[in-house]
Each structure stands twice: as C-alpha cells, then as structure tokens.
Amino acid sequence: MIFKSPYPDVEIPNVPLTEFVLSRTQQFGDSPALIDGPSGRTITYAQLGGAIRLVASSLAKRGFGKGDVFAIYSPNIPEYAVAFHAVSLLGGIVTTVNPLYTAEELARQLNDAGAKYLLTISLFLENAKTAVSQTNVEEIFTFDPVDGATPFGTLLQSDGSLPEININPAEDLVVLPYSSGTTGYPKGVMLTHRNIVSNIVQVEGVSGIELVEQEDVVMGILPFFHIYGMVVIMNMSLAKGATIVTMPRFDMVQFLELVQKHKVTRVNLVPPILVGLAKHPIVDQYDTSSLVELFSGAAPLGQALADEVKARLNCRVVQGYGLTETSPVTHVYNLTMTQEDKLSSIGPAIPNTDVMIVDPTSGEPVGKNERGELWISGPQVMKGYLNNPDATAATVDEDGWLHTGDIGYVDDEGFFYIVDRLKELIKYKGFQVAPAELEALLLGHPAIADVAVIPSPDEEAGEVPKAFVVLKTETTADEIMAWVAERVSPQKKVRRVEFVSEVPKSLSGKILRRVLVEQERAKLGN
C-alpha cells in the first residue's frame, strides 16, 4: 500500500540551485541576509549575489570548474553561504565537513570526495594542513586571514566575469555531504541541484504552515555542514528573503542573548537543545517573546518535551523528518492541521512524496497502524552514494524506493510516527555515529579482546555510544573512554562502558546488537 502526500503536487523548477536562489533574492535589496551572531557583521541581499559572483569568477580563473569538488570545513558564519553558492554557480560540488573532525577523518573525506580545494578558518588550519598533506588538495583557503593559507577575501577581488556553464539540474551534483553507515566509514551522498531545489519547493508546498517567511529572523544554530542546516536553514531561508543569524557553536547564554537582541522568530533545532529550553533556569532571564515557531528535526521529539517547551516559550513546536539521502525533508508536522495530541508525530508526507511501510521480515507492504520500515519515493531522493554502487543498491531499490532503516507506522489520519531504527546508527544530539567504526577502533586497544557498541538512551543527548567490553588485560572504563576521545571527534566519544564476559553473537559471528539494546533499555526503564 502506497501512502501519498495529502498535499497537491508542486511543480519543480528545472534550474540550478544558485540560479533558483538568486532569482528570488534580487527583490530583497538592502535587507540583511546573514548576520554573524557574535560580531554583528552583516551581508545584505544586495551584497550577497555580487559576492557570490566575484568568488565564482576568481575560482574559475584558478581553473576550478564544473564537477570539481570544494570542501568547506568551518563552523557557521555568513561567508559560508557565499562560498557554497559560488561553487554551485560554477557547477562545482561542495563537500561539507564536520568542523569537529580529526585530521584523519578530514583526510579520509577529502580523499574519498576527490577535493581540489579546502576552505576553513584559522583555528582549524593546523588540523587542515595535517589532513591535506595526505591528499591531493591543491590549495587551502581561510575565511579569516592567516599565514600559511590563501585568504578567502582575495577571492572577492575579481572582475566578476564567468565562463559559460551548462548545468543539468537532474544529473549534476551540487553537494556531497557524508552520512554515517552501519558498516565502515561515512559515505558521500550525491545530491543534485534538482534534489535540493525540489526539497525547497516541496516544503513550501505544505499548505497551512509557513516554515519561513521574508519577515522572519531565523537562528542559524544547526551546522551548515549538516544537511538540515544547509538546506532547511541556509537555503530555504535565503530563498524566502529571511534574515539568518549565524552561531559558530551552540552556547545557551549566547543563543538567548541573540534571540533577544535580534528578535529571532524561528529556530530550527534538535531535541537536546529543546531539553535546555524546557528546563534551564536561565531561559527566564531573557525576552524570548519574539519566538513564533521552533522546528525540531534530526532525532525523534517526545510529546512531553514538546508540550513543556510550548508551554514555557508560548510558541509553536513543529517536528519534521528526513535523511541526508532525501535532501533532507520528507515529512512535516503541521500543528494547525489537527489536535495537538500528535506532537510526537512527524506529520504526513510533503508534496510529491510517496511512502510505503514494509514488514522488514517478509518484505511485504503493511497497512495503517502496522509497524514496518519506511520507504520513500520522491524527487528529493539522492542520486546515490559516491563510488559505492553496492551501498546505493542496498539503500535505493530498482524502483526508486529509498529504504530509510527507520521503523514507524501511519495512523488513521495519515500521520506518521517513528518508533525505532532498523539501522544500528547511534543518534547523539542529532549526529549519526556508526557503532562499527567505534568497534573497529576499540579492537585496536591493547587491553580489549572483544567489543560491541550500542546506543544507550540519554535524556540530554538522545543516545550516547556505550561499549560492552571483553578484557584481555586489566584496565578501567575511564582509561578506555579517554583513549577513544583522543582518536575521534567529540560526537563519537564512547561515554559509557560496561565490562562483560562475552559479546552476544549469531552463528555467523555477527554481533547481536539488538539483544544488547533491549537489555539496556530494560535496565534504564526505556
């Protein structure tokens, strides 16, 4: 049974992403497009298009062109959008890198993506240089001037002339974010111009709800390297003429100060930040009355937490659902559509999106109120994984259905709910962490004989990585956690360790992770 969106289909413009965004921004003139939260530095809409063209012109004169890959390794700042769209305008591909990555993780992505240039900030330059020494990257740029790299500002010194570029929106990639898999290293997700443009107009086609409007001030708090921040915050907001206030990292006090100072109206966030807004006593010291709507995504939002935040801040709470592989949005929950007892729902599918719920054991579609894996079909579904046809075939079938790995159901009114994950990924504060990657690392510890890593429920983070360790020589949990912390980015840290006599495995030797997950949930009362 195929569940269709309740909304009418929308027409998808067959244009490249930056052409689509800039065609809309011309009318916004001197309105602020992006404001740097800490400094107040501002780029207006009138300045934005010009800056994008100047940087694109400079890159083209350096020999950067269609199909070349440009890595951005930076926290959120206004110029991120300039760099992103300059590359896009040339038909180049932006690969967005987690700013918390170690040099080893960065080098792996740069090599896999085939990056030609890397753009970062001075604070990350040493890490970047270490990584680049192991790659074919030709030049490092930094947003802020520093010895040892080319200042991004020099790219603004150009005549603005551009070569003729022929972009096929349906085929040509615009962005290559990396998504954690349940096995091995993160994979490059190939997203085309059409994927991203589709998702913007699909979300705009959700009637009865406006996720962003021209008069809005949007907090750019979620990282632009993440598909949620890149599309939902950066590109959807710019396409509507809203103002984005960027934050390089989340800090509750600074966040509240910026909401108060800039009269922020909408915030896209993840459940761990909502926990702080619901419970932190400091919230009451700031004027948050400008807030109209909080949009939660990247991890499931519970009904009780949604109710608590809504009551405290007196604003709407909306939940969405999506994946990197779906550019990202597939579902949006609209509070105005129905009673508010569905706050934990992800809502119905957005326009042009079909959903099946499939029994993971039998492979047969199921009906309403029956649990199964969500399969998605729509113009936002990725082209595939970079250089990984096997992983692509395992995720997107020959009929174009993307198998999400998430278990859910649909109620009688067409509202979807996510209840579990078929995939084994750990969702730490909205970031995906692959257990297999941590297990491979931990097996390199001299005191560890065997190990299994699972998601352990955590009120603040949603889930944290927990290792079940079989020792061969004596050591402590603290020592193991510190050892891992030296070798991975912060979201991948093992935060709990339990010593066991053996790791449960199937006859074929596969870790029975589900057994450990169920034991952990029972122990913690989840």
**Residue spans of beta strands (DSSP E) within 221-271:** 243-246, 266-269
Q: Lowest-pLDDT range, 264-278, 308-322, 339-353?
A: 339-353
pLDDT confidence of 510, banded at 50, 70, 90?
Answer: low
pLDDT per residue over 255-306, tens digit each?
Answer: 999 999 999 999 999 877 888 898 889 999 999 999 999 998 877 777 777 8
Look up the CATH number of the domain holding residue 437.
3.30.300.30
Q: Nearest 5°: phi and psi at 207?
A: -70, 150
Q: What is the pLDDT of residue 509?
A: 60
Residue 39: is its pLDDT beyond 90?
A: yes
Check if the beta carbon of residue 324 is closer than 8 Å to that of residue 368: no
Residue 424: is its pLDDT beyond 80?
A: no
Residue 456: is its pLDDT beyond 90?
A: yes
**Residues ≥6 apart with Cβ < 8 Å to 225:** 72, 74, 96, 97, 98, 99, 177
Q: Is residue 479 part of a domain?
A: yes
Check if the beta carbon of residue 491 is closer than 8 Å to that of residue 465: no
Average pLDDT over residues 51-63: 98
Calpha distance 225→75 (Å, rounded): 8
> How does 256-270 read in b/e, with b if 16+ C-beta sit within 10 Å?
bebbeebebbbbbbb
Q: Is residue 489 part of a domain?
A: yes
Average pLDDT over residues 462-478: 95
How much is the mean pLDDT over the chain? 93
Residue 381: is its pLDDT beyond 70?
A: yes
Q: What is the pLDDT of residue 91?
A: 99
Q: What is the pLDDT of residue 61?
A: 98
Q: Is residue 476 part of a domain?
A: yes
**Distance, C-alpha 363 to centroid of its chain:** 29
Calpha distance 269→295 (Å, rounded): 6
Of residues 276 and 368, more confidence is placed in 368
**Residue spans of beta strands (DSSP E) within 411-513:** 416-421, 426-428, 431-433, 448-458, 462-471, 496-499
- Among residues of the chain, what percentage have pLDDT more than 90? 76
Q: What is the pLDDT of residue 431?
A: 87
Distances (CA, A) of 336 to 209, 342, 351: 7, 11, 17
Say how many domains are in the chain. 1
Q: Is residue 169 part of a domain?
A: no
pLDDT confidence of 183, banded at 50, 70, 90?
Answer: low
pLDDT confidence of 501, banded at 50, 70, 90?
Answer: very high
Q: Is residue 512 part of a domain?
A: yes
Q: Is residue 464 part of a domain?
A: yes
Range of the domain at 457: 426-524
pLDDT per residue over 391-413, tens digit each?
Answer: 999 999 999 999 999 989 999 99
Radius of gyration of the chain (CA): 23
Q: Is residue 223 part of a domain?
A: no
Q: Is residue 6 part of a domain?
A: no
Q: Could you tell me the pTM of the whole model?
A: 0.86
Residue 444: is its pLDDT beyond 90?
A: no
- Among residues of the chain, what percentage have pLDDT more than 70? 96
Our CA angle for 360, 366, 372, nearest 5°, is 35
pLDDT confidence of 526, banded at 50, 70, 90?
Answer: low
Q: What is the pLDDT of residue 274?
A: 86
Residue 508: is its pLDDT beyond 60?
A: no
**Residues forming a β-bridge with 417:** 409
pLDDT per residue over 197-241, tens digit each?
Answer: 999 999 999 977 778 999 999 999 999 999 999 999 999 999 999
Distances (CA, A) of 74 to 52, 151, 155, 223, 430: 18, 14, 17, 9, 18
**Residues ≥6 apart with Cβ < 8 Å to 72:** 80, 83, 84, 94, 95, 96, 97, 119, 120, 224, 225
Residue 144: is its pLDDT beyond 60?
A: yes
Q: What is the pLDDT of residue 506?
A: 60
pLDDT per residue over 88-136, tens digit each?
Answer: 999 999 999 999 899 999 999 999 999 999 999 999 999 999 999 999 9
Check if the beta carbon of residue 139 is closer than 8 Å to that of residue 71: no
